[in-house]
Structure 1
Amino acid sequence: MTNNNRTPLVAAILTLSMAASVTAQANTTLRIAHLNPPEPTSSHSAAMVAVFKQLVETATSGEIQVEGYPSGQLGDDANAINQVSQGIVESSISSAGGVAEHYPRIGIFDIPFAFPNIGVATDVIDLSSDFGQQLAADMEAETSGLKVIGLLDSGGFFHFTNSQRPIESIEDMEGLRVRTMTLDTHETMINSLGGEATPISWSEVYTALQTGVADGQMNPILQTSFANFEEVQQYMTISNHLITPYVWLINDAFYEGLSEEHQKVIDWASKVAVDAGRAMSRIIEASDEGLPKLAEGMEINTLSSEQRQAFIDASQPAVLDTIESQYGEEGVALLDSLMESIEQAQ
């Protein structure tokens, strides 16, 4: 994505960035971009920014000021990551779809039904886990200007919603136009189930569902709720078919330019903030803003174990083939490490 597509806000930030050194100094500003709503009680990434801001500014006596840019103010995830890489913005909290444009091997997480429960996902998708450290090292080696300071799930397990019919079998997927991220693995999964994968950027999903450009979508309860998809979808299927990471990135040169003391603050504050983000996801899921809110506008059903197995049999081989063909030996090796980590965490 080229710099010609920058918004006026991004251009203003670029001007400020060129005028200031990225090395640590008094009143250093750390800007964090993310796509979700700004209220800490509405999204996990906003909760992370709020906690991180309070901890960093207090621990550094205000020498580092943290600013959040929610709701895609600085562009979509891929564009925000590009700005972090170039040092235009210091940090972003980004979905797998955005990360994939810079680090395609993030698609290894898209093996359908790979994670048995949220506890295992929490253990594995974490920067302190053996796999988390391996993933971060690989991502940093394969990209430019990026350092990983946090890993967590994207808000919980993915579920299907649509405007046509309840999904109770693979046959019910036939012909459904399902919005996906721009990930080959997501598109492969939907197509293998008989649906029609329809890649659409996050900012356009509501309108696409409202106008019928897409019949359905798949996301965790968290995102489905704060996006108000119950207003434009009639059916929801609790499928637990995917769980993908959110990746917290910081510009490597900015981080290295900080004093050792300030680096330590960033390290522990980001860890605490990730824990807060995970907790907020679980709280929203369990609150009236979770399933109860969605149930006011949608009919909800749950796949049985037999139905889930039919989905697994149809989709897993196809996604594995895509990973092998798209990501090569390195991707397969990383996938093997992921699956081993999942097995060990159970």
Structure 2
Amino acid sequence: MNKLKLFLITGLIVGFIFITGVVNAGDVYVMKFAFQMANDIYGTNEASFANAFKGHVESASNGRIKVELYPGGVMGKERENFVNVKNNVIQATLSSVGGIAQFYKPITVVDIPFAFKTHNIAWQVYDGWFGDELRADILDKTGVRCLVTTETGGFFAFTNNKHEVKTPEDMKGLKYRTMENQGHIKMISLLGGSAVPIAWLELYTSLQTGVIDGQMNPLPTILSGKLEEVQKYVTLTNHLYGTDWFMVNNDWFESLPEDLQKIVKDAAEVANIADRGAQRLLDVQAIQKLKEAGLQIYTPTVEEKEMFRNKVQDGYIDWLSQEVDQQWIDKFLKAVDEAESE
């Protein structure tokens, strides 16, 4: 991405965050929007998305929609936020794959290890026919509407505080935190580690106190959680592509007049662009910041990365075929193949 594009994306984020609207006479619809990370618009993907969304909605609706942000997990953990959106206690949240998988298991197909080679391939899959079909099925099965699939930091890395990890053999004996996601638990097991499901808000303390040895997350997410303070080694495996899913209470959404529904949809698209741009900027900075913090960063060779893929991918797909309808596995892999061919 060239400097001009980075400048334009940054301008987009800042512009939509600081625009405000004037309330007209008539109904004002309130959207309570809760998320897990701190409200740091330049440091966390959730804050970038939420603030860009809020700015666009309130401006474009001329104040007819008011978006109240509840960052930092103040409304509960991911599971609680999903349930609260479903019950219209809050109207919106950003959910990870792990957060949704507790209510809709087919979403775990998107976590087939090493499925995505580039960000562009991932974006094409989520913004194309596959993403549309999966989001429609989530609404049908859960009653919660997903407007867009955005990014949470990009590609995953492994970190730990015991020793350098270059191959799957090095993962033996290490205890890794995962989300409350059976797919992630299975993946760690296939790679030879031990998985311990722990909520994001408890991750730092769990690493600090030795409950676990390591974790996996995108680099910007590692920094946003200050995990560099309690980790020593980073391995850039790029085994998963991190996503957040913008979940909205469907009854609240359908109660809006059609013009406001369109504004909410448009704002979600704008926020998605802002978030993805912000994450790419943070990604560029992350490695340098981790090095400055004293972490040892290792990039596996092509051969070593293939060892990871061979160790985990087929086993994960075999396990997944017992957990979800095979059609979703086939659809996802087909969408990835199509995106790669383009």
Scaled by the length of structure 1, what TM-score is found? 0.89
**What is the CA–CA distance in structure 2 between the aligned matches of 1:143 and 1:234, rounded to whole Å?**
40
Counterpart CA distance in 2 for 1:69 and 1:282 is 25
> Secondary structure of 2:279's match?
helix
CA distance in 1, matches of 2:159, 2:302: 19
- The one-letter code matched in structure 2 to 1:94 is S
* TM-aligned CA deviation for residue 323 of structure 1: 0.8
The CA distance in 1 between the partners of 2:275 and 2:133, in whole Å, is 22
Amino acid in structure 1 at the alignment position of 2:336: I
**1:274 match:** 272
> Which residue of structure 2 lines up, in the alignment, with residue 133 of structure 1?
132
| Contact preservation (8 Å) 2:99, 2:181 | no
SS, match of residue 304 in structure 2: helix
Contact 1:44 1:276 in 2 (8 A): no
Residues in 2 aligned to 1:239 and 1:99: alpha-carbon distance in whole angstroms:
24
- 1:55-99 Cα deviation digits (max 9, x unpaired): 111111111111111111111111101000001101111111111
Match of 1:187 among 185, 188, 191: 185
Which residue pairs with 2:335 in the alignment?
Answer: 341
Matches within 5 A, 1:111-150: 111-126=112-127, 129-144=128-143, 146-150=144-148
What is the aligned partner in structure 2 of residue 91 from structure 1?
Answer: 92
CA distance in 1, matches of 2:111, 2:49: 24
Please give the residue correspondences for 1:1-346 in structure 2 after superposition, counting only pairs within 5 Å.
26-126=27-127, 129-144=128-143, 146-287=144-285, 290-295=286-291, 296-327=293-324, 330=325, 332-346=326-340
Letter in 1 for 2:225: A
Q: Deviations over 1:231-289 (max 9, x none)?
A: 110100011011132110111000110001111111111111111111111111112xx
1:44 CA displacement = 1.5
- Is the CA contact (8 Å cut-off) linking 1:121 and 1:153 kept in structure 2? no
Q: Percent identity?
A: 35
2:306 partner amino acid? Q
Give the letter aligned to residue 300 of structure 1: I
Is the partner of 2:153 in helix, strand or coil?
A: coil
Contact (CA 8 Å) 2:45, 2:151: kept in 1 or not? no
Letter in 2 for 1:86: N
> Partners of 2:315 and 2:199 in 1: how far apart?
24
- C-alpha contact 2:177 2:198 (8 A) present in aligned 1: yes
TM-score by length of structure 2 reads 0.90
Equivalent residues of 1:49, 1:273 under 8 A apart: yes
Give CA deviations for 1:139-185 in whole Å, capped at 9, x if unaligned.
111112x1111112322001000001111111111111011111111
**Whole-Å Cα distance in 2 between the matches of residues 118 and 297 of structure 1?**
28
CA contact under 8 A between 2:176 and 2:212: conserved in structure 1? yes
- Number of matched pairs: 314
Equivalent-residue separation in structure 2 for 1:238 and 1:258 (angstroms):
44
Distance 1:203 1:340 in 2: 36
Segments of 5+ residues of structure 2 without an aligned counterpart are 1-25
Does the aligned pair in 1 maintain the 2:57–2:65 contact within 8 Å? yes
Paired residue type of 1:319: Y
The whole-number CA distance in structure 2 between the counterparts of 1:313 and 1:336 is 19
Query: Which 4+ residue blocks in structure 1 deviate beyond 4 angstroms?
Result: none
AA of the residue aligned to 2:275: G
List gaps (5 residues or longer) in structure 1.
1-24
Q: Match of 1:81, as an amino acid?
A: F
Amino acid at match of 2:176: V
Offset at residue 293 of structure 1 (A): 1.3
